[in-house]
Amino acid sequence: MKEIIQRNDDVLIMLDQLLKEERTFEWDQFYSDRGRNVPFFVDWPDENLVRYFKEGWFQPGKKVLELGCGPGRNAFFFAENGCQVDAVDSSKEALRWADERAKERGLKVNFLYENIFDLQVDKGSYDIVYDSGCLHHIAPHRRIGYLDIVNKALKPGGYYAVVCFVPGGNLGGADISDWDVYRLRSLQGGLGFTEERLQMIFNDYRPIEMEEMSGDVGENPVFSQRGLLTALFQK
pLDDT, tens digit, for every residue of 108-128? 999 999 999 999 999 999 999
pLDDT band at 23 (very low <50, low <70, confident <90, very high): low
What's this model's pTM, rounded to 2 decimal places?
0.92
Rounded CA gap, 5 and 174, in Å? 30
- Tell whether the model's pLDDT for residue 1 goes beyond 70: no
Beta-carbon neighbour count of residue 118 at 10 Å?
Answer: 8
Tens of pLDDT along 179-188? 999 999 999 9
**Which CATH homologous superfamily contains domain 8-234?**
Vaccinia Virus protein VP39 (3.40.50.150)
At residue 58 the predicted structure's pLDDT band, cuts being 50, 70 and 90, is very high
pLDDT digits over 33-50, tens only? Answer: 787 777 787 889 999 999
pLDDT digit string, tens, across residues 205-216: 999 999 999 988
Say what the pLDDT of residue 5 is.
Answer: 83
The sign of the dihedral angle between the CA atoms of 63, 69, 74, 77 is positive
**For 165-201, what is each residue's pLDDT tens digit?**
999 998 899 999 999 999 999 999 999 999 999 999 9
Which candidate, 211, 201, 198, 204, places its Cα nearest to that of 235?
204
> How many DSSP H helices and E strands does the chain contain?
8, 7
Mean pLDDT score of the chain: 92
In the chain, what percentage of residues exceed pLDDT 90?
A: 77
Cβ neighbours of 138 (radius 10 Å): 21
- CA gap 181, 179 in Å, rounded: 5
User: What's the confidence (pLDDT) of residue 217?
Assistant: 75
Amino acid, res. 157: G
Burial of 191 by CB count in 10 Å (0-12 exposed, 13-18 middle, 19+ buried)? buried
Judge whether residue 52 has pLDDT over 90.
yes
Residue 194 and residue 27 in contact, taking contact as beta carbons nearer than 8 Å: no
What residue ranges do the domains of the chain occupy? 8-234
- The residue among 79 and 21 whose pLDDT is bigger is 79
* HSE, side-chain direction, 13 A CA sphere, residue 37: 1
Distance of alpha carbon 154 from alpha carbon 215, whole angstroms: 30
Local structure of residue 134 (DSSP, 8 states): S
Tell me the percentage of the chain whose pLDDT exceeds 70.
97
Cβ neighbourhood burial of 69 (10 Å; 0-12, 13-18, 19+)? buried
Query: What would the mean pLDDT of 212-235 be, rounded to a whole number?
Result: 90
Buried b (16+ CB within 10 A) or exposed e, 150-168: bbbbbeeebbbbbbbbbbe
pLDDT at 67: 98
For residue 59, the model assigns a pLDDT of 95
* C-alpha separations of 42 from 19, 36, 38, 71 in Å: 30, 11, 8, 9
Confidence of residue 21 (pLDDT cuts 50, 70, 90): low
